[in-house]
Structure 1
């Protein structure tokens, strides 16, 4: 990676926070629709299942668009990519707020996803060039926090605004936030030449089957979660009698639990082997989804059903969202010399999983009902548990892992004392993520 780009004096942290705000807007836009499916479907004249496919389309367009956008924008200044993509994202959300038919809504969601797919990796790359090498991990964490905060605050707040002022106001608000962020970046973000953020060789990431197995685990984990989260309104209505007016409060509780889980997952990954934590995280989520399935199947037995549903949502937030930092630690541990590449691939895997999960939930809702949605999510999550356990059994030794990550010419030059030093550096570097 090249040397850092120096921002205007005193503006470094402000730029990082603006990039985080951009990801907050993108995260809110991508997730908030799950709490607004019923009013969106009613307004556009389609059922809830069809409205849920808007999540599928967004996620699929993002997953496919991310590598394409990266290839097409590689020759351009990162500053220009950030500003243009954020402006396009704001425009796409204005279009989402004013559409009157389902087909136009689909097109608007595709445009929002493609512009988001261009902004997100560029934001991470810009963050890595704005600071010195020893602070890159913290800079990436600051920017990446935008997505986590969107889950905890943006989604319930957007759902609440949608309940008060209508779902269109939520997307208009996202557009306003994206516009303000773009204006701030115009003022504070320094020019970042094309290629300034490119990392060193990352081909080894593509050669490692363990990296691909980890990416499969990521996609399966999020697919199980989004099978249910996409239709969380109908599921909670069936499981605990939660009405649309109370849904934002439930999502807020879930979001707070998600922040707690994210924090606990990061701390646990610093202290314990990540391959042992992954089965615990996925198993906890599988149990939470199974509880929701059981409640939907039994009709949600009154107050007890509401209490159990609340416990399931809190458990989901803690166990489910502890997975993300643990898995990031795992990926960086597998390929520290290509951390940027494997983390970008992990982000694509997330949206592939979201697309698959929301589609599975849509089919389950159409054919079985809300109980089918919850049980389908639980079964997918059980598959994630199986993959996580297989990861534990197939983990390599530390010495073998280091050998995999080095280039051929590096292997010839590394002596045993240097190998010990590299092992310590890999551990320290992993903590930054």
Structure 2
């Protein structure tokens, strides 16, 4: 009897453990991307030296599960699940560049070298699946030192973490000494020297991320955290070179972008997340001229709005930023958010970039992406030949449905590569 010889599985290249090579990676369309019936969602996109096989990005999502800033096995399983199931790019949650820049005592951090190895373990697994991974670098500013949200009983509140649970309410920093809300600590106004230290912190964290092997870095300039606080005239009342004019309020972000761009490889794309609007337009005419609330007394000031985001996008395109991740809100508890407009706002910024010939800066969109059709429509060309975005950033739906890439493909009728170990369980609707 002749025994048929079967070749051994090729190992994933560069992995520090055996796992079969995923060639092509899960989530890759198995038909020509030039075919008219393949939605843009399942076509490749290249940012500098990074090519993604589809347009899905796992948004950075805080999980409040790190050990003194160090990632753990929780993060390996949590983040690895998305890479295994076809997400082209997974971004590690907001990672603090300084201990007092954490949102909570359990936040991810990259302010010291011991935090490199746990991150590299996650990176190695994602790469073993043929997928890409990035990290979001952040400083929480006046919104730091809060407890994990599952400890909060009132919706929309951010309860302070005191020293008894590892918090640092006396060490909060911000552009101006304005508290987040009543009952929250008043932050310390940063000195010029401390601002320089923040910029160095972002650069040092980026160097550590590169050492860990990430494929891209995202700077968190959104959601009312430190950089966002500098951008907004509501929270930035400084009278020095970091406050007042648009150029001054964007100076910290500009300096962070330049510092990070200088320490990451030339072929590595740089991402920036912004809040395109604070959703505070309603307060410009209605806010009281005086109030017992330290933040309410500033609500009548001009806020950060979409036109300023368009102006910022044009500037970032010239600073070596490769993708603008467009979110919104988070800088004032009195915001009035219209989540249905979120993707349209990203589309407005993308159209503004194209009008000025800034084609190198791509746009990522977030917001209410719960269905296959919604994900498709975010990046698909409309009747006028325009798309709202180049990549779709998905958060909560991935938490509900880690296989969202694969189920979306099935619902849209696109044949894609599954994880090879799951070949006997194709997705059926």
Q: TM over 0.5, yes or no?
A: no
What is the TM-score of this pair, normalised by structure 1? 0.29
Q: Which has the higher contact order (CA 8 A, sep 6+)?
A: 1
What is the TM-score of this pair, normalised by structure 2? 0.29
